[in-house]
Amino acid sequence: MTLNKPYFFATKGYGDGSNAPGRCTGCEFGGDSGTEPYVVAHHQLLAHAEAVSLYRKKYQKFQGGKIGTTLIGTWFTPLNQTSSLDKAAAERAFDFTVGWFLDPLVYGDYPKTMKEIIGDRLPRFTPQESELVEGSLDFLGLDYYFTKYATYTTTPQENPNVLTDPGAASFVYYPPGFRITLNYIKEAYKNPLTYITEHGVSDYGNLPIENALADNGRIHCHCSHLSCLKCAIEDGYNVAGYFAWSLMDNYEFVEGYTLRFGMNWVNFPNPADRKEKDSGKWFSKFIAREIDHVNLHVSSFII
């Protein structure tokens, strides 16, 4: 995997400044939230494509293996299912989150909606760059956590911002969206070989240990989404693996030790002190019972 969630680096690092390098309109370190995120994303795509091209020319034919990248897999469903405005907002929100990167990687150009809305603020691929980026995936990594409800909102005419350009407000969450997301990608993006590279749910980091170990919500999250994944596979989606985030509690990029995603509890002041959560026990039993019946690699990992 060349890059992990380039959407977050562009929007959080240069859109609202909440992640490094902390640039945005009005941020302490300066920036322009209406242009810099798109420039950053553009160069991430080009960097990925260059890496893939080099790998394929010099290494792949001798060493085998596959090269790809990992994107956010958020789906958006209309808050009001009968509202044409909300339906259009959901489509725009997907294009500005997933299609922003997946369209170039599959088709060599940005989604039509982005080009129409952003105009000159969106960089353009030269014909050579478009050819380089198009098809630069042996596989797609997808970090899926939730689906959001989307509703129409107006786009400010002054001080454009990558976060308001889609003209859609969103609210968490809708579990069946996992299957819908995969089926949409199957139909719209040529059913790429896909690994679910992250899926999970967090708890607060300061919960009493007895509460942290009894993580039934995490069991429900993985169980329900694995059921939807099974349905997507039966629908014909080309999924090769599912990686639960994560094996154990760990340091989260911006949140530090304030959140816990693990199936094993870790005493952060003394990391050698670890205890298996109820979710870890459930996941172990699930794998032992089911892995022989599905053509799918199910695992957990930590970076």
Q: Catalytic amino acids?
A: 198
Could you tell me the two tokens for 136?
Answer: 């630069």
Amino acid at 249: D
Residues in CB range of 238: below 8 A, 6 or more apart: 186, 191, 192, 193, 194
Phi then psi for residue 194, to 5 deg, are -130, 140
Task: Output the CA torsion 256→257→263→266 (10° steps).
Answer: 130
Q: For residue 302, which of 272, 260, 255 has the smallest C-alpha distance?
A: 260
Helices (H), the chain: 6-14, 36-55, 61-63, 84-94, 100-107, 112-118, 127-133, 177-188, 209-213, 216-234, 278-290
Peptide bond before residue 145 is cis, with ω within 30 degrees of 0: no
Q: Could you give the angle at which helices 216-234 and 278-290 cross, rounded to 10 degrees?
A: 30
Residue with tokens 């088709």: 107
What DSSP string runs through 241-298? EEEES-SS---BTTTBTSEE--SEEE-TTSTT-EEE-HHHHHHHHHHHHHGGGSS-EE
Phi then psi for residue 50, to 5 deg, are -65, -40
CA dist list (Å): 253 to 56, 174, 256, 260, 262: 31, 25, 6, 12, 15
